[in-house]
Amino acid sequence: MSAHAMESVLHDLGVKREARTAFGEDAPAFLKRYGVDAAEAEMISSFDIAKLLKAGVSPLLTYGFWMMNAPVKTRAAYLERSRETA
């Protein structure tokens, strides 16, 4: 698919409580609704911020996604993940 589809996922996970609940309960089933491919689904499920940014997803969305959904919702943890190299 494209960064656009991932942006759609991340936007919903930022602004819709029901999306966050569904993602938390069964991420693969939730992500299937958006038509993202396996590699993209993995980037999102694993909160791989560095890869998401490299794929062209808006940093405004990756940050909001992290702060609303990640296990550790801090800026420091986000930055650490965003600075990882493959």
Partner 1 sequence: MASIVGGFIMPHEPGVFYMPKEKWNDAQKRVRDAYEQIGRRVGELGATTVIVVGADHYVLFGPGCLPSYLIGIGDVSGPYERFPDITQGNIPNNTALALHIAKYGRDNGFDWAVAKTLRVDHSIGVPARLCGLVNESVKGVVPVYLASGVEPLLPMRRAYELGQMIGKAVAAWPEDERVVVIGSGGISHWVGLPEMGKVNEAFDRWVMDCVVRGDAEAMLALSDAEVFEQGGNGAWEIRNFLCMMGSLKGHKGKVIAYEQGPQWVTGLGFAEVFGEAQAATA
Pick the binder of partner 1 from 7, 13, 30, 41 (CB under 8 A): 7
Contact status: 48 vs partner 1 (CB under 8 A):
no
Contact status: 72 vs partner 1 (CB under 8 A):
no
Terminal-residue alpha carbon distance, the chain: 21
Pick the binder of partner 1 from 20, 22, 55, 64 (CB under 8 A): 64
Pick the binder of partner 1 from 39, 59, 72, 73 (CB under 8 A): 59
Nearest to 49 by CA among 28, 27, 32, 74: 74
Contact status: 69 vs partner 1 (CB under 8 A):
no
Contact status: 35 vs partner 1 (CB under 8 A):
no
The pair of three-digit structure tokens given for residue 51, joined into one six-digit string? 């890869």
Q: How far is the CB of 69 from partner 1 (least distance, A)?
A: 14
